[in-house]
Amino acid sequence: MVAQNIFFYAIAAVMVGAALVVVTSRNVVRSALALIVVFAGVAAQFIILAAEFVAITQVLIYIGAIMVLMLFGIMLTRARIGRDVDATNDHWWAGVLTALLLVGVMGYALVDAWGDDPLPAEREITLDGSNTAAVSDSVFSQYLIPFEVVSVLLLAALVGAIVIARKDR
């Protein structure tokens, strides 16, 4: 159990550091690469939480697909790759204020509500010994209609993105 804690804090420290690089870096590509580190750290936390199917989906969708889209967006908008730009607003102090206030309120509420309550030692949710089977069983029975709605949403987003971005109109 101690090893889990060591890994949690090591990965959490890397994640928070990389997230700060994402929102403060003056180089757009460096922000994107730091975001990949954050996504990988989130996947690692999912493994610690014994949700391996979501962790693998995180790697495939976020690191594989969404980050490639982001890098395409950076490339197509010709953000000055490799050169530093001033990417922060004049009213950045409002963001600092809001974030500090939020983290204070949420931290107080969480410590007040959960204190030192531990997570159960047997965290893995399985069906016939497999987490993937448990997830798919739930998706295709209890959450079948939301699943189909998400399929339609993805199709609509695909068509919408093509219609918005095409040139001949």
Considering only residues 57 through 96, tell me which ones interact with other proteins, judged by CB under 8 A. Answer: 57-58, 61-62, 65-66, 69-70, 72-74, 76-79, 85-89, 91-92, 94-96
CA gyration radius for the chain? 20
Q: Under the criterion CB under 8 A, does residue 153 sit at the interface with other proteins?
A: yes
Q: Are 12 and 41 in contact (CB under 8 A)?
A: yes
Tell me the closest approach of the beta carbon of residue 168 to other proteins, in angstroms: 13
Which residue among 123, 129, 130, 148 contacts other proteins (CB under 8 A)?
123
Contacts to other proteins from residues 12-41, by CB under 8 A: 12, 15-16, 19-20, 22-23, 28, 31-32, 35, 38-39
For the beta carbon of residue 37, count every other beta carbon within 10 angstroms.
Answer: 17
Tell me the closest approach of the beta carbon of residue 132 to other proteins, in angstroms: 10
The single-letter DSSP state of residue 142 is: T
Give which of 118, 120, 129 is closest to 52, Cα–Cα: 129
Give, in order, the Cα–Cα distances in Å from 100 to each of 6, 42, 97, 103.
27, 22, 5, 5
- Please, which residue, 72 or 83, has the CB nearer to other proteins? 72
- Please, which residue, 83 or 107, has the CB nearer to other proteins? 107
